Amino acid sequence: MAENHYDAGDITILEGLDAVRLRPGMYIGSTGTKGLHHILWEIVDNAVDEAANGYASRIDVRIYKDGSVSVEDDGRGIPTDIHPKTKVSGVQVVFTQLHAGGKFDEHNYSFSGGLHGVGASVTNALSKWLKVRVCKDGSAWEMQFRSYYDEQKQKVESGVPVEPLKKTGSCGQKHGTLVHFLPDDTVFSSVQFQLSTVSHRLKELAFLNKGLTITLTDERITANEFSDDEEDEGARQLDLIGATQPYSVTFCYRGGIADFVSYLNEGKNRLYAQPLYYKGERDGIHVEFAIQHTGEFTENLFSFVNNIPTPEGGFHEMGFRGGITRMLNDYARDNKLIKEKDANFLGEDFREGLTAVLSVKMKNVQFEGQTKTKLGNPEARSPVESCVVEGLRALAADAKNKKIFEEIIKKAQGAARVRIAARQAKDTARAKNSIDSLTLVGKLAACSGRKAELNELFIVEGDSAGGTAKQARIRQFQSILPLRGKPLNVEKKRLDQVLANEEIRTIISALGAGVGNDFNLDKLNYHKVIILSDADQDGFHIRCILLTFFFRYMRPLVNAGHVYIGMPPLYKVYKQNGSAEEYAYDDKELAEKIEKVGRGYLVQRYKGLGEMSAEQLWKTTMDPMRRNLTQVTIEDAAAAEDMITTLMGDRVEGRKEFLNRNANFNKADPFMDKVKLKKEASDEA
Ligand code: 1YM
DSSP structure string for 585-597 = SSHHHHHHHHHHH
pLDDT tens readout for residues 269-316 = 999 999 999 999 999 999 999 999 998 888 899 999 999 999 999 999
Dist. CA 14–CA 28, nearest whole Å:
18
**Ligand 1 atom at minimum distance from 56 CA:** 21
Task: Report the DSSP beta bridge partners of residue 605.
Answer: 571
Q: Is the pLDDT of residue 448 over 70?
A: yes
What distances in angstroms separate CA 91 from CA 5, 110, 396, one per listed residue? Answer: 17, 19, 49
Helix (H, G, I), strand (E, B) or coil at 291: strand
H helix runs in 53-194, sequence order? 90-96, 120-125
> Most confidently modeled of 379-388, 539-548, 592-601?
379-388
Who wins on pLDDT, 327 or 236?
Answer: 327
Q: Which of 353, 342, 39, 54 is nearest to 180 (CA)?
A: 39
Q: Is the pLDDT of residue 188 over 70?
A: yes
Q: Of 39-53, 215-229, 243-257, 567-581, where does mean pLDDT reach its minimum?
A: 215-229
Dist. CA 340–CA 338, nearest whole Å:
6
Q: Which of 108, 173, 104, 98 is nearest to 135 (CA)?
A: 173
- Cα 20 to middle of ligand 1, angstroms: 21
Write down the mean pLDDT value for the chain.
83
pLDDT tens readout for residues 364-383 = 999 998 888 999 999 999 99
Dist. CA 506–CA 280, nearest whole Å:
52
Active site residues: 461, 534, 536, 538
Q: Which of 463, 425, 426 is nearest to 445 (CA)?
A: 463
- Cα 47 to middle of ligand 1, angstroms: 8
Sign of CA dihedral 534, 540, 542, 544: positive
The amino acid sitting at 246 is: P
Who wins on pLDDT, 379 or 487?
Answer: 379
Q: Which of 492, 552, 564, 553 is nearest to 528 (CA)?
A: 564
Under 8 Å between Cβ of 484 and 462: yes
Provide the pLDDT for residue 7.
Answer: 43
Dist. CA 429–CA 502, nearest whole Å:
10
Please give the full DSSP string across 561-625, using - where no structure is assigned: T-EEEE---SEEEEETTSS-EEEESSHHHHHHHHHHH-TTEEEEE--SGGGS-HHHHIIIII-TT
What letter would DSSP give residue 500? H
Interacting residues of 282 by C-beta distance below 8 A, sequence separation 6+? 383, 384, 386, 387, 390
Burial code of 25-36, b = ≥16 C-beta within 10 A, e = fewer? eebbeebebebb
Q: Is the pLDDT of residue 645 over 80?
A: no
Dist. CA 34–CA 333, nearest whole Å:
48
Q: Of 78-82, 434-438, 657-661, where does mean pLDDT reach its minimum?
A: 434-438
Q: By percentage, how much of the chain surpasses pLDDT 70?
A: 79
Q: Of 174-188, 197-211, 552-566, where does mean pLDDT reach its minimum?
A: 552-566
Dist. CA 384–CA 318, nearest whole Å:
9
Provide the pLDDT for residue 118.
Answer: 59
**Ligand 1 atom at minimum distance from 71 CA:** 1
Q: How far apart are the first and last CA of the chain?
A: 78
Residue nearest to atom 30 of ligand 1 (CA): 104
CA torsion, points 88, 93, 94, 98, in degrees to nearest 10?
170
Q: Is the pLDDT of residue 422 over 50?
A: yes
Q: Which of 377, 210, 360, 390 is nearest to 285 (CA)?
A: 360
Dist. CA 300–CA 92, nearest whole Å:
43
- What is the rounded average pLDDT of the residues 599-607? 90
Q: By percentage, how much of the chain surpasses pLDDT 90?
A: 59
Q: Is the pLDDT of residue 173 over 50?
A: yes
What letter would DSSP give residue 681? P
> Which pLDDT band, with edges at 50, 70 and 90, does 502 fall under?
confident
- Cα 183 to middle of ligand 1, angstroms: 21
- Cα 379 to middle of ligand 1, angstroms: 29
Q: Is the pLDDT of residue 678 over 50?
A: no
3-state secondary structure 428-485: HHHHHHHHHHHHHHHHCECCCCCCCCCCEEEEEECHHHHHHHHHHCCCCCEEEEEECC
pLDDT tens readout for residues 317-359 = 999 999 999 999 999 999 999 888 889 999 999 999 999 999 9
Q: Which of 364, 396, 388 is nearest to 287 (CA)?
A: 388
Ramachandran bin of 137, using left for φ above 0, alpha for ψ from -120 to 50, beta for the remaining angles: left
Mutate which of 39, 46, 91 for ligand 1? The one with the most ligand atoms within 8 Å of its CB, which is: 46
Mutate which of 62, 70, 74, 76 for ligand 1? The one with the most ligand atoms within 8 Å of its CB, which is: 76
Provide the pLDDT for residue 646.
Answer: 56
Provide the pLDDT for residue 435.
Answer: 36
- What is the rounded average pLDDT of the residues 164-180? 97
Dist. CA 415–CA 410, nearest whole Å:
9
> Most confidently modeled of 68-77, 94-103, 503-512, 603-612?
68-77
Dist. CA 633–CA 26, nearest whole Å:
51
> Which pLDDT band, with edges at 50, 70 and 90, does 227 fall under?
low
Helix (H) or strand (E) holding 394: helix 381-397
- What is the rounded average pLDDT of the residues 422-443? 57
Mutate which of 45, 50, 106 for ligand 1? The one with the most ligand atoms within 8 Å of its CB, which is: 50
Residue nearest to atom 7 of ligand 1 (CA): 78
Residues lining ligand 1, judged by CB closer than 6 Å? 43, 46-47, 50, 71-73, 75-79, 90, 94, 100, 103-105, 108-109, 177, 179
**Ligand 1 atom at minimum distance from 108 CA:** 24
